[in-house]
Every structure is written in C-alpha cells, then in structure tokens.
Structure 1
Amino acid sequence: MRILFIPGNSPSPIFSHAALAYAARGAGHEVVVGGIEWVVPDIAAIGLTPLTIAPVTGADVAEFMGNAPADPAEQAVAVGRIYADIALRSQPALLDLAAQWRPDLVVGGSMFYSAPLLAHTLGVPSVRLEWDRTDSAIYAPGARDVLAPELERRGLDAVPDPDLWIDICPPDLRTPGQEAGRQPMRWLPVNPQRPLEPWMYTKGDRPRVYITAGARVPDPRALVHMARGVADLGVEVVIGVAEHVAAEVRGDLPEAHVGWAPLDVVAPTCDVILHHGGGVTDMASLRAGVPQLIVEQDVSADAMRRLADYGAGLLLEPGAQRTEDIAAACGRILADPAYGDRARALSEQMAALPSPAEVVGLLEKLAR
C-alpha cells in the first residue's frame, strides 16, 4: 500500500505524524510525506521521504507570522486563509506525484486542506490525523472564502469529511462529544536527535524546570528574565532553543543548560515544563507526566485551559505574565504534588490508547 502524508506547514505537525508514518513503513507500506519547502529538511531529518508541494520558505513563514494579527481570533482567520491558499497551490505538485506514484490513502493534518482535496480528486480514502489538542475549527472562517471557488468548481459544498478521523487527545481532556466518530491513538514523540550528554537524561538533586518557545524565535531578553526569575526558586533551569538564540543567552545564564536538546529525552527528567502553549510541547509533557506552566498562549488557549482546569498545570492569562507572576506560578506547581499526580494520570491515559501499529491495521482495511 502507498500512503501519502500531508501533515501541515510547520515542523510540529511533521513530528507529530511521524509515529504513524514509521508504523506504516514498518508494516511494509510505502510512505511519502509532503510539505512546503520550509519543512522538507525536517521531514528528511527524521528519516522520512519528503516531497516539496509548495515553494513556501522559512522566510515567507517568518514574514507572515511577523505581520499576523495579535488578537487570537483574528490570527486564526489569517492562518486559515494562508493554509487554504497553500492547499490550492499544492495541488499541481501532488497530482504530478500521483501520476507516477498513486497513493492508496492520503493522511492529512487537522487544518491541512490539501489532503482531502487530493483524496477527492483521486477517489481514494482520506484520513485526518490530529497533531495536537487545539480545535482546528477556529481556522475554518478564514479558509472558507479562499476555498469556496475551488469547492464550487468540484461540485462540493464543503471540504470533504475524512473517512477516518484519528484523535490523540487523552480522554479526560476531550471536549464533550469529541470522541464521537473518532479513532483514538497513542501519541508518541518524534523529533530530530543529537548526541546525548549525561545531563539530558539524568535528574539532578534539584527540581528541573524546562523553558521553551517551541519552533518560534523567542526574544532572548525575555528568556533571560524568565529564567532568572525561575532560578531564584533554587531550581535547575534548562532552556530549549535553537543554537543562534542560545548563543545570545548563554553568557547571561552561565548555570543554565541552554540550547537545543531532544525533548523526548529531557521531558521525563523535568518537574515543570514552561512554554507558550505549543502543541507538540504540550503532548510531550503529557506523555512524560510532567505538569505544565503555559504563558503567551494564543489560539491554543482553550486547549491549555482544559489542562489547567484538570489540575495538571497552570495557565497564566494575559495581564498576569510578568516575570514575578511566572516565578510564583512555577513555585506553586513545585510545592503542590497534586499537579504532578494529575499530569501522571493523563500520561497513563495516553499509554492505554491504541498504538500507531494497531491503527495501521485500520488504514489497511480502509484502503481495501
């Protein structure tokens, strides 16, 4: 069987879809992963076969994000428009591939409209695989107007529904009715690796706080202030950032571990993971059973609020995200073992879900 994955327009969906892609390839199936120019190196870096489907570069993405509205609702509309535009622009490259390498199944991300459009054209089943816990319906208003002429041309009223919908959310964090019609699957971490150093997998004698902004390019000064405030709690600080940002931070934080490290290795050694509400960071924290402290969240706020309501972390609302607020919230999590207990409960729920290898069997039945 040939399976085409089209996860999304950033590294995070690529990494989140990889476990199912590996499982399919391990079962003997052919796998190709499509992505915009920016993420093609990330696809190759984790050992999957990449296909460039649109000439959208990292500079293009940075320009878009730099000009994106600050308001989360407006930002979601803007993101929906750009994703829909890329979906339309990607169809020629995808059809060129299908002319020689026709997929039996197309797997797409939660808001990557390329996959269902291609599957409809080819007459093959489509699968929607969620890559995080954010409800992608918030992007639909922006995508609707962009996609409308193409959908009308195809005789469609809306983007076709998937033939199989795979969800990776722990049961207790789902919204009411979310499980209806969806196939649960255990989320497994995948990310580029580097040679390990002992500190990455060793837990020291002090609590460890991991700080990251995910794939974003954070303000180095904000990282320094945040880390200093947290360090005053007597904890060990690890800052996960790209090397070009790390070089600006290390001199101000000589006692911290600063730089890129594989989160799947580091997360289980942490006592708190402090981040911006990024989907893969959230899922890696959940799998490791580590409480989260979320600041500077945007479109993911509702998903992160469910985590906080469950008691597995804290969400700092706008206006309460000063350095002292962050340090106080971090101290609160460290002082109360209930946060860790709730985080571990979610980890156990995730571990009990069907594995990607089990879900491959469903893909095989669907393609037949």
Structure 2
Amino acid sequence: MRILFTCYPANVHVYPLTPVATALQNAGHEVLIAFHDHPGIRGSIERVGLTPVPLGDSNEHDPRFRKDAAQLRSAEEVLAYAKAMNLSDKELEHWIPYFQQVSCGMSDYGRPDLPYAADLVNFARSWKPDLVLWDPVFGPAGAVAARVSGAAHARFLGSCLDWPAYFHRRIEAARPQIRAAGLADNPMTDLIRPLADKYGVWVDEELLFGQWTIDPLPEGVRLPTIQPKVPVRWVPYAYPEPLQDWLVQKPEKPRVTLSLGESLRRFVDGDWGRTPKIFEAVADLEIELVATVNEYQLRGIDRIPPNVRVVEWVPINRLLPTCSLHIHHGGNGTSLAAVANKVPHIVTDTDESMLMEALPSAESSEFVINSGTDFGVVEDDEPEATFKVPAKHVMGPIWAEHVTKYGAGIRLNYQKESVEEIRAKIEHVLTDKSFQKGAQALYNNWLGTPTPSQIVPIVEQLAAEHRP
C-alpha cells in the first residue's frame, strides 16, 4: 500500500507521526511525508528515516509570514463567536487558540493561489496513494488530494486536540445565533471551500474530518467527538544522536528536568520570569536540575546555580529514564514522555486567558510574537503589528488537571507562587511516594493503548474499506 502523510513543517509535528509512519513502513508499505520545504524540516524527516516530499519553494519561509497571509483573528471576533455558541470557560480556552491562531496556518496552506496545496494534489495524482494521513494543522489539503487521486484518507492528531470536529458541531448547532450576530455561518468550512471549488470537490464532513482519525492522545485528555477514532500509543521520539556519557551514569543526586517545549523558543525572547524563578528555587536543593533551554529562554538570567546543568537540546526519551521529576509546560510531547517513563510531573501554568491581543510594533516587548522570526530567520521588513503571547501553553491546563486527577503530579502557577512555595512543591513531589504511584497509574493506561505496530492491520482494513 502507498501511504502519504502530510505534515506541518515543525519538529513537534514530525516527531509524533514518526513511530506510526515507521510501523507502517516496517510492515512493508511505501510511506512518504509531504511538507512545505521549510528550512530545517527536510533534514528532520530524513534523520528519522522517512522519505520527504517537499512542497513549494525551499527558499520561501512559512506562508503565514507573507504580507498577504491570514492574520490572527481579532479578540472581538473570537469572543463574538464564543458568545453565540454559549461556550463554557473551559471550552473558551480551547476555542481561542484554535480559532485565533491554528486556523491561520490551516488557511495559509490551503490557499489555492499558493503552491503547497497544488503541489500536493499534483503529486497525489501522479503517485496515486492508497491512503492519505493528513495533519489538521497543515490543513485539509490532504483530504482534497485524496479525493482527487482516489485515495482513502484520515487525520493524524499528533500535535493538537480535535478542535475542528468539536467546534464544527458547536458552530452548526448555534447557526441561528451566529447569523443573528452578523458573523459568517461557518468560518472553518470557508477555509477549505476555495481549494475544494478549484478541484471540483464537494465540501462535506468527510472532507473536513477524514474518514476516520488516528488519535495518540490519551482518554481524559482528548476532546469528545463523534468521529471514528483509532487510538494509538504515543511513543516518545526525537531524532537520534550520539548518547552523552552523563546520561549513562547514574546521577549522584535526584535528577529533575526542566523542559519548556520546542516551539515558542523559536519566536519569543525570554521566559516570562519562569526559568529564573525555578533556578532560584532549586539553588539550595540537593538535586541536579537539567534545563533543556536555549539562549533566548536564558535571557535576563544573571546566575545559573551550580546544581543546574543547561543543555540546549537532548532527546527527552534518553533523559527522562534517569529522572525523578519532570517540570514542564504541559505540551503533549513532554507530558507523554514523562508518562511513558513513569516520572511524576510539575506542570507550569498560569490563570491568564489564551487570548492574544494585537499591539503596535512600537509597543513590542520580549514576549511578543511577530511575523519576522522563525527557525532563526529574521525578515528584513519590520512587522506592522505584533501579538502579545500568553505565558502559558494551550495544553498546560489540560495536562495539569490530568496528572493531578491521577495523583501523578501537581500544577505550578509560577506567576503567583513565590520562590519559597515553588521550592516546597518540588521537595514535596520528590519526597512523597504517592506521586510515583500516580505516575505508575498513568503509565499503565499508556501501556494499555495499542502500539503503532498493533494498529497497522486496523489501518490496512480501514483503507481498503474506504478506498473509492
């Protein structure tokens, strides 16, 4: 069987799909990964042993940095839809990042006037895959390519929750209220319609959400939707590199990790005071803190305590087996890596909203995301507008609630808690053995989920049933 994955051009999207793509490849299927030929990502795909299919021009940066790119939705529009749908506070915190931010990437990569979707469709027509597994954040262009080429197709939710399916239902149910508010009937359907019209493809729920969905997020974290799902175990993965000696040796003191994700540190200088506060909190503890942070996250820190080892990058699946505690931001990759290694959590979080407010360039600060920086590349043009980034990860509250429910860790509101309170929390999780029992419970749930190799026959059967 020929299988074509689509992937948003970022490592946090490459890593989750790698174990599933490798399992399908090891079962004898021909597997390719289509992506925007973004600087750095082609090499990432090659390093994990998969075959890349570059789309577009490798000399061009992400389309969201074009002057005509889709702009982040205004706070007023985001909240107007939320009011029309009568969203709860918890639902609102899901709706904000999905509608305000993620939909922009989906829109940009689905534009019929840019080469990414067109290249994907043309390649699918020529190669004729049997199955297309598409990344929702890269947009539904994979579904259009599957329809045009006669392939079965499904989504792979490696990097986000199933916001598209969840909020599609809420939008459809609130259509009268949305119209009464003077808003577009369904802005998410509108994103794909121009591309679908270009290729004569009918927009229906199958095009929007796939014929089924492969979901590596655990029960209790994923959103409830009616779409058919194939659960799969999230296998922590990062591209291989030579094993460092200090990771082989047993640590003399309890080892604690501080991992704050791979994404925002490319865009934002500083760390909202989180890293310096944690460094100060651990300075007098009999532990070794391994902080996987880069130069941008270290800005503003005058002193690194002697018991802190700063490593810009190390494979998390090599580091965590040596650790007694994992302090992290609540991203899926870092959270599930701790689950897979039975390590208790401290999830850093805040009480602020995920809503991003536009700021004039003149008011820019170190905690602003703009259209000028990505993968270490700075554009020549000064951006006209910037958006202040909340000091939290969208998944932070969800993972904090999940690990707390199982007794596998605690939440750390680092904005409100003092250095002394942070120190006490770290000592508490390290010394209270109940957290290890909670981590074991999460691990048992993870272990009970089918492995990537175990879902291969299911994927083969579904592809055969759904292929036109």
TM bucket, shorter chain: 0.7 to 0.9
For residues 257 and 114 of structure 1, do their structure 2 counterparts lie closer, same or farther at Cα, with a shift above 3 Å needed? farther
Residue 270 of structure 2, aligned match among 219, 225, 237: 219
Are positions 1:182 and 2:234 aligned together? no
Residues in 2 aligned to 1:323 and 1:311: alpha-carbon distance in whole angstroms: 23
8 A contact 2:24–2:31 mirrored in 1: yes
Q: By how many angstroms is 1:127 displaced?
A: 2.1
Q: Secondary structure at the match of 1:160?
A: helix
Q: Which moved more, 1:262-271 or 1:29-38?
A: 29-38
- Distance of 1:267 and 1:122 partners within structure 2: 43
Match of 2:117 in 1: 91
- Show CA shifts across 1:23-60 (max 9, x none): 11111211111223143332122221112235563796
Q: Judge conservation of contact 1:84–1:143 (CA < 8 Å) in 2.
A: no
Match of 1:162 among 210, 221, 237: 210
CA offsets, 1:53-75, max 9 Å, x none? Answer: 355637967x99xx898995543
Q: Which amino acid aligns with 1:274?
A: I
Task: Provide the rounded CA distance (Å) in 2 between the counterparts of 1:59 and 1:330.
Answer: 42
Which residue of 2 is the match for residue 57 of structure 1? 61
- The code of the aligned residue for 2:42 comes to V
2:270–2:300 contact (8 Å) kept in structure 1: no
Q: How far apart are residue 92 of structure 1 and its match?
A: 0.7
Residue 120 of structure 1 contacts residue 160 of structure 1 at CA under 8 Å; is this kept in 2? no
**8 Å Cα contact 2:3/2:32 also seen in 1:** yes
Q: Which has the higher contact order (CA 8 A, sep 6+)?
A: 1
Give the direction of change, closer, same or farther, for the CA distance of 1:227–1:251 in structure 2 (3 Å limit). Answer: closer
Alignment map for 1:8-87 (pairs within 5 Å): 8-36=8-36, 37-38=38-39, 39-54=41-56, 57=61, 73-87=95-109
State the match for 1:329 in structure 2: 425
Amino acid at match of 1:164: W
Q: Do the aligned residues in 1 keep the contact of 2:161 with 2:223 (CA within 8 Å)?
A: no
Please state which structure has a larger fraction of its residues in helix.
1
Match of 1:228 among 251, 273, 280: 280
Return the alpha-carbon distance in structure 1 between the equivalents of residues 44 and 402 of structure 2. Answer: 30
Residue 91 of structure 1 deviates from its aligned partner by 1.3
Q: 1:175 to 1:107 in 2, by over 3 A?
A: closer
Name the CA distance, whole Å, in 2 between partners of 1:174 and 1:355.
Answer: 18
Tell me the amino acid that sits aligned with residue 143 of structure 2: P
Q: 1:266 to 1:44 in 2, by over 3 A?
A: same
Are positions 1:206 and 2:280 aligned together?
A: no
**Which is higher, the Rg of structure 1 or of structure 2?**
2
- Higher deviation after alignment, 284-293 or 101-110: 101-110
Q: 2:337 aligns with which of 276, 279, 284?
A: 284
Partner of 2:380: none
Tell me the SS of whatever aligns to 1:232.
coil
| TM-aligned CA deviation for residue 283 of structure 1 | 1.3
Q: In structure 2, what is the Cα distance between the partners aligned to 1:68 and 1:331?
A: 42
Secondary structure of 1:35 counterpart: strand
CA contact (8 A) 1:271 1:291 kept: yes
More deviation, 150-159/227-236: 150-159
| Distance change (3 Å), C-alpha of 1:19 and 1:236 | same
1:265 aligns with 2:287: no
Are the equivalent residues in 2 in contact too, given 1:84–1:146 (CA < 8 A)?
yes
The one-letter code of the counterpart of 1:48 is: L
Q: For residues 354 and 150 of structure 1, do their structure 2 counterparts lie closer, same or farther at Cα, with a shift above 3 Å needed?
A: same
CA distance in 1, matches of 2:131, 2:300: 45
* Deviation digits for residues 243-289 of structure 1 (CA, Å, limit 9, x no counterpart): 77679979734442211111111111111111111111111111111
Question: Quick one: distance in 1 between partners of 2:233 and 2:52?
Answer: 24
Looking at structure 1, the residues matched to 237 and 32 of structure 2 have their Cα atoms a distance apart, in angstroms, of 17
Contact 1:16 1:189 in 2 (8 A): yes
Count of aligned pairs between the two proteins: 366
- 2:395 corresponding residue in structure 1: 300
The reply on whether 1:146 has 2:194 as its aligned counterpart is no
CA distance in 2, matches of 1:59, 1:88: 10
Contact 1:203 1:270 survives alignment (8 Å): no
SS at match of 1:28: coil
Quickly say closer, same or farther: Cα 1:223–1:317, change in 2 above 3 A.
closer
SS at match of 1:81: helix
TM-score normalised by L of structure 2: 0.68
Q: What SS class does the counterpart of residue 129 from structure 2 fall into? A: coil
Residue 114 of structure 1 aligns with which residue? 141
Cα distance change, pair 115–58 in 1 and its aligned pair in 2 (3 A): closer
Cα distance change of structure 1 residues 49 and 337 upon mapping to structure 2, 3 Å threshold = same
Q: What does residue range 119-138 of structure 1 map to in structure 2 within 5 Å?
A: 119-131=146-158, 134-137=161-164
Q: SS state of the match for residue 252, structure 1?
A: coil
Distance 1:143 1:9, change over 3 A: farther
Cα separation, 1, equivalents of 2:449 and 2:226: 13
Amino acid at match of 1:29: H
TM-score (norm 1): 0.85
Distance 2:298 2:230 in 1: 40
- Measured against aligned partners, the alpha-carbon deviations of 1:189-214 in whole angstroms (never above 9, x if no partner) come to 22023221232244423221101111
What percentage of aligned pairs have identical amino acids?
A: 25
Give, in whole Å, the separation in 2 of the partners of 1:327 and 1:96.
56
For 1:331, what is the secondary structure of its paired residue? helix
Q: Is the 8 A contact 1:12 1:279 kept in 2?
A: no
CA distance in 2, matches of 1:132, 1:255: 33
- Segments of structure 1 that go 5 or more residues without pairing to the other structure are none
Query: Structure 1 counterpart of 2:324, which letter?
Result: D
**Residue pair 1:88, 1:114 contacting (<8 A) in 2 also:** yes
